[in-house]
Structures are given as C-alpha cells and as structure tokens.
Chain A
Amino acid sequence: MTNMNVVGKRVLRQDAFEKVVGGKGFPVNVRLPGMLHGKLLRSPYPHARIVRMDTARAEQMPGVKAVITPADVPQIPYNPIFFMPVTSAGLVRDMLILSDTVRFAGQPVAAIAAISAAIAEQALQMIEVDYEELPAVFDPDEATRDGAPEIHAGVKNNISDTPSFAIGDIEAGFREADHIFEGTYETPRVHTCYMEPRVCVADTDTNGHITIYSSIQHLFGLRERMAYALGLSVSQVKVVQPPYIGGGFGSKLDMVYAEPLAALLSARTRRPVRIKHTRYEDFITNARHPMKVYLKTGIRKDGTFCARYARTQCDTSAYASQGPVVIMVHAHYGLMLGYRSPHLKWEGKVVLTNNIPGGAFRGYGAPQACFAVESQIDEICEELGFDPIEFRLKNTPRRGDPHPFNPEWKLDTYALDECLARGAERIGWSQRARAGSSSSTKKRGIGMAAHPLWVSGCVGFPDIYEHSGAIIKLNVDGTANLSSATMDIGSGQNTVLCQIAAEELGLADGAVLMSPGSTDTLPFDAPTHASRGTYSSGNAVKVAAAAAKKRLLEVAAVIMEANADDLEVCNGVITVKGSPARSMSVADVVKRAESPYMVIGEQGPAPTVLEEKGTIMGLSSLAPSTNPSPAVAEFVEVEVDTETGQVKVLRAVYAHDLGRVINPAAAEGQVEGGLQQGIGFALMENMLFDPESGACLTSDFLDYKMPTAVEMPRHIESIFIESNEPSGPFGAKSLAEACLIVPAPAIANAIYNATGARIRSLPITPEKILKALGKL
C-alpha cells in the first residue's frame, strides 16, 4: 500500500481547468435548437382547491406555444425521491405532477411554454384561477391536534408515520440510573443553497421518447421517476449526464415538478423546453426537515449510559416525500447507534403540515440528532464533572466490535479514539478554561462534539439502491477513459475515481479521464449521497480497472512472449517482474491490440496475432459487501461578544477516520465546506415564513444569511486518520457528510464554555444568547 503513484497525491482536479474559464458543461448552459422556455404558475395559497381554471387568454398570447393544467397531466401519485425504487413499500406516493389540490404556498398549478422566458412569465398572469381556500396549519404540534385541518384525506391528525424501536427494558434502565438528564433540542428549516439553480431541458420526440438534461445528483433516479409519473416505460426516458453540476448537497435527490412538466410541454410543442428555477423557486422546492428531539438519558455513577430514550417529531411538510426515510436514518445513525446503552427506546412522529416540502440535505437527519445528543453529553459532563473525551470513549464502540447496525459487520478500522486524542491535542483541550470563567465582555470558549458512527453508502438500508458500475477503455496513446453514472456534484469525486482507476491500471496521474454518458449507455449507479462516492463508486471503478488491467497484461503477454502472471504495470510501462529490461509501454500494447489484422511492414502485409486483437477494456457493476463506519470529532474555539451576542468561530480542528485519503486537497475541501454549512446551521440559517399565508419570506440571499468568507474561521485544520479499510478502494471509507454533522453541537458547547449559556435551539442567534445571559 505504501508504493502508490497516484492515490494519496494532491492531484489537480480535471474539471477545474474548464471551470475557471467559464464552465461550459453546467446544465444551466444547455441550449438546444428551437428551444422554448417554460414557467410554472404557483399557488399563492398554502392549502386550496382549484375550482376553476381558464387558460384561454394565456394561450392566445403571441409567443405562447402550450399551456398545461392539472387536466392535461397523468394523475399518477408518485414519491419524488431518487434513491429508492419508486414502488417501494417504504415510500408514500402522495404527489402529483399537477393537482387540483394545493398543499403549500408555491405549489405549481399550471405550466406554460413560450418562445421566451419573459413571454412565458407574462402569460402566467393571464391564467385565471379560482381557488377555494382551505384551512392551513404550519406548526407540527398544532397539526397533530384533534380538529386540525386535514391535509391528505385519511391521514389522521396529519401523522404520516410513527416508527419506533427498543432494545432492553427502558423503564428498568432508568431505575438503574444514578442520574437522569432530560432536554428538548430543536433545529430549523435550512436550505442547501446550491449555487446552480434547478434547471432542466426536456426534448420529446414524436415517438414518445424523452431526452432530459437536468442539474441532479442521480441520473437513474430521475429516469425511473419520470417514467413512473408520466406512465411511460424507463427505456422511453434518457437522462443525459452533465460533466458536473453546480452543487447539490442533497437537494437534487428529488424529481421536481419542472422535470415532468418540461417533458409534457415538449411533447405538446414538439420542441425542446427549458425550465429554470428562480432562486425563490429553489428555496421553496425542498429544505432540511425541522426536528424537535426530546432526550432522556440515564447514567450510572461510573459515567456509563444505562438508559437512552429519545422522541423525534419531524415536520415533513406538505408531502410525505423523504420524511419517513430521513427519520429512520436520524434515529439509527444520528441518535442511537453511536453510543452504547443496554436499554434504549426511540419513538418518531412524521407530521404533515402546509409547509414547503422537506428534502435531503448533507447528513440526512443526523445533524438534527447530533445537536441533541452532543449538547446533552456536554451538559452531563459539566454537571457530573466527567471529562467529555473520556466520557465519550467510555460509551462508544471500540475497534473490532461488531457494528451496532449489523453485528455481521465488524468495526475493524474504527478510530474514534485517535480522532478524539489528536483533535484534543491540536486544539489545546487540556488548557480549556472552566465554563463561563472569563470576566471579559468578549469571552472565548472551546467546545467539541463527536459523531461516533456514520455510513459509507447504504448497504444494509432497506430498499435503498447501492450498486455502482464503471466502464474503462484504454486508448492507443496509453490513456484511458472512465465512464460511470455517478455525478460529481462538486466534491472532486470524478478526479478521485480517475486516481483510483489510474492506480489500479498502473497509469500515471492524469492518464485516466472521465467521459460522461447517459442512462442509455452507462451501467446503473446509485446517487451521489450518503457519503458513498469514493467508497462505493470507487470500488466499482477499481474492479473495472482490474478487469481492464487483466486484459492488458494478457495481450502484453502474447506480444512479449511472457506469462501474464509475470508481468506488472507501473506508470504506463509493462515489465517482466525481475527483468526490467524486458518492457513495453501500455501505449504500444494498446496500439497492437487496436491495429488492423494485416499490417503492412517492410516485407509487405503480414498478419498479426489474433489473440492480441480487440479494445482493451474492463467493466463492473456491483454493490459493496459491507458498510464501514467512519468516526469523527470536531473541536472549535469561539469568541462570544456578551454585549452584542455575536459569535465568531476562531478556529476549528476536525478529525476523521476515513480509511485512506485518495486526494488530500479534495478531502480538505470537503471538511472546509462542511464546516461552513455547519456554522450556518449553528449560528445563522433559518427559513422564515409568513404565519398567515405560509409564504416563504427568505427567498433570496439578501434574506437568507449564510457564512461569507468573513464569518469563516481563519484556521481550519483537517486531521485524517488513515486506518486502511479492507473493503474500500485502496483502504478508503467515507468522508463527505460527517463534517457538517458535528459543527453545530461543537459550537453550541463552545458557546457554553465561553459564557455558561446553554442554548438548545438552532440557530444560536445573538438574541438567544443575550436572552440566555439575561440581557434581553
């Protein structure tokens, strides 16, 4: 493992060269000949029935080519999420492409295609709609009371789902406890704020086949849902792979209304139709589920847990969508699995309201859980005088333990202990002052949080896709093209996958290039989510590369009159092991394989060897056999101005047991960006809505505040613990999400350390701090 040429190197991102000069490959740049522009008419009411809709005036407007209303749309209820089979028993199918009932302010009710976006926008105003307003409810507590408005027929008290689980006897556990802690922790509705808007171009041919370009995190998920909701078969939908998209962070794991509507408008007009969201439309498309978590924890004198009870209320909003899935990940991988307890019990409630739909967001239910769990552990340690690091180690799994989610898996490469030890040393944990001991008005504090267990993909999760595929093809110049349906949403995953392929194939850095395809040409890949790209897609790429390498050496063996088992390839050169003089370049081998059968030489045409012939390639399609968990710890130092309530994060140290760093620069980039989203979640971000109309009030970046370069700490230190996971490509497990899961509780705990004020609801605004300090 030590002699690697490409893996572990700070390789430059392939797509960066294109992105710094304009980034022509973004879906927002797709333009097709004859393309029309679509716009969606959206309901001003949060809950209403359409009584009458008249589109005549809009249709007569010059430049308008088609108007689509609920009557023109297949009424096939679907669930929009990409990563599960659309017919899964675990999904609620309660959405329609267009419906005559609207359940949130901003839900589309009609669509228009016109020769320009401006004309389409004007024409929207010409559609006459009479609504019968229905009573709406926005607060999940109110929504579950008897007599609350019914949002979906037959869903009693708007409770979509009430999952639960228990181990042991929770009441007996609390009877054993020497101390019991209780608390309720709340997290707000926050948006991913990907920079590239949701945009799609659909082109439907007269044979009923749809080709669609869209800014999404999963090609095959869109294909499956488009086909299902439109009543087509999957082969009638082709999703074209963009080389990259402008961020996603989970939000682009749902089919949005625009995608099937663009297809329907295109079918009607026989022209390509583009629909691009405005930023307001992006904000109301989906957001992280607000959750309220009640935690009750029983502790023995020795500092071990004896009972852990939790209850979660999740506002899944107007449609069930991701809610019943996100709450399960939240409960298992957020609340319960990370810390051992002989008795535990969790009860969840997924509530429908007339708010905007909930969606996936990096961390998928875990940031809400981690804020609760890690804040409460800090409270316990403060009150009972335990060292927060020793306390965590006492209650977490150890290396070699069976995995709490599936005992058949082992935590062979688990290294929370190292994350805690190295992070603590770097931040200067031992010099941390007692909480609230500073007498200055600007108080500094240090806090930490861990997330003992996270995922590398979704193996083991019911009904969630996990397999990946790859195709690798060698070229006569000694390079290779890699194709995979995985989407690089910004992380640098494609560069990492090319590094894995190059390392396995024995090619030099930069010799493997990613080549986009489509759902017609590529093997299936699960979405870019669940921290799975490097681990799962990386495994598939490595297997495809190994197959291509096997063929390469077979051909080389024929040419070099050697045994394939005696050959090795490194940096583009094949040699006979132990005889470096007998060598041949990969390029020369591929040239022979691709040459005509009869080659004209000095003696005239002569046949080549038949066994050499054929494109040298490898392909794969497989799911990983396991799901190795990384562990992480975050340490932050903050300064709280107790006069203004402002919090500055001065420094962050993040330690992550990721198995193997494939590309250090890309890995650091994940940590730094995750911290930024975590600081936003902790201190600033919160979508606001009008309490009467349910209208979104934070609909652009002037209203929705997220960290700029000024709010970010000057010092961000990433510590990567390389534990060499045997099931992962070159020892890698996952990275991308945990770095956003831990910052909020680490910051909250640091604020407590600085001021003595404990704040249990996010975001921790200056108002909340001043209130807690008795200054407001």
Chain B
Amino acid sequence: MKQLISLEVNGDRHEIAVEPDATLLEVLRDHLGLLGTKQGCDSGGCGCCTVHIGDRAVYSCMKYALSAQHQKITTIEGLGADGKLDAVQDAFVREGAVQCGYCTCGMIMTAKQLLHDDPHPDEDAIRHGIAGNLCRCTGYHKIVEAIRTAARD
C-alpha cells in the first residue's frame, strides 16, 4: 500500500506517494527525476548514491524514503549557487579528479561532509573519509588532491 510522504529536497517540498519499502535513492531518481544521485550497487557498498540528510552524508540506497521525512535532504543538484559550481565541484574539475564520473557526485557529497566536519583534514583523514566511496578509474590520487585543494581555497 502506497503512502503519501513529504520530502524536503534541495529546499523544495514534494508530496509523493511511495511504497513503504521504497528507498530514498529510488524516490530521488524515479519520482523526483534527480538523476545526479547514482545507483551503483543497492547494498551500501559503493557510495555512488551518497546524499546529505541534514549535514550527514548517507547512502540513499540504505535509507527508506519514509524515514527521511521532516529532514533537509541535499543532493548534488543542491550544491552551488547562482549557476556557479560549489568549491568542491570546482576543485574536482580543476584537479582532473573526474574520469568516468559515475562515482563523482557521491564522492563530492562525502567530501562536502568531510570538510564540514574537519575544514583542514590531513591526507589520512581525507583517505579514510572517502573510504566508503568506491572509484574504479582514478586510483583516488586526484580525488584526494581535489579535496585538499577545496580545503585550501
């Protein structure tokens, strides 16, 4: 039986009828058309679907949409303002941290939380901070550099 829920995503409120077992990832992609959040494994193993609930980065495939009501959800589409890239997005472009790009949005959301909690992380903190996000293209080297650059700027 579908239930009507209310989600606040990137500052917009949406009323949506969803199955109780619908994940936040499914609702973002298939109901709200927010395709920047990627599905990679549906089992909390890759981090491609990372979004923010409040200021916490979470795997949206591991979260029921029902349980995300009454909280502020931010997706990659909610970063940046006035048509400009957010500092972390910009650093990913400039440091060459994007290859196939499928992990990129989740990685940026995790990096945002990392920098929120620790504005000047050392390399170890960055590497452990993004260990829950898999990337198969880059070897992470330029991703770590991008996060360092974003922290510096």
Contact = CB atoms under 8 A, between A and B. Distances in A.
Contacts of B136: 192-195, 247, 249, 673, 676-677, 706
B129 to A, nearest CB: 8
Contact of B101 (A10, A193, A244): A244
A279 B131 contact: no
B130 A709 contact: yes
A26 interface: yes
A489 interface: yes
A22 B139 contact: no
Contacts of B36: 21-24
A676 to B, nearest CB: 4
B139 A246 contact: no
B9 interface: no
Contact of B140 (A22, A193, A676): A676
B92 A16 contact: yes
A332 to B, nearest CB: 28
Contacts of B123: 714
Contact of B46 (A13, A195, A716): A195
Contacts of B45: 279, 700-702
Nearest to A712: B140
A282 B101 CA distance: 19
A672 B101 contact: no
Given A197-B39, A247-B102, A716 B93 contact: no
A20 interface: yes
A669 B140 contact: no
Interface string B97-119: 01111111100100000000000
A708 B104 contact: no
A441 interface: no
Interface in A709-729: 709-710, 712, 714, 716
Interface string A654-683: 000000000001101101111111000000
A666 to B, nearest CB: 7
A16 B101 contact: yes
Contacts of B141: 668, 672, 712, 716
Contacts, number: 179
Contacts of A24: 35-36
B142 to A, nearest CB: 6
B93 A20 contact: yes
A728 B132 CA distance: 40
Q: Which of B46, B94, B126, B140 has the most CB of A within 10 A?
A: B140
B96 A665 contact: yes
B8 interface: no
A196 interface: yes
Interface in A473-530: 489-492
A197 B49 CA distance: 13
B5 to A, nearest CB: 17
B138 A194 contact: no
B48 to A, nearest CB: 6
A421 interface: no
B100 A490 contact: yes
Contacts of B44: 702
Given A246-B100, A279-B42, A669-B137, 17 more contacts: A13-B98, A19-B105, A20-B90, A20-B104, A21-B76, A22-B34, A22-B105, A26-B38, A195-B102, A195-B136, A246-B101, A492-B99, A671-B139, A673-B99, A675-B139, A700-B41, A709-B127
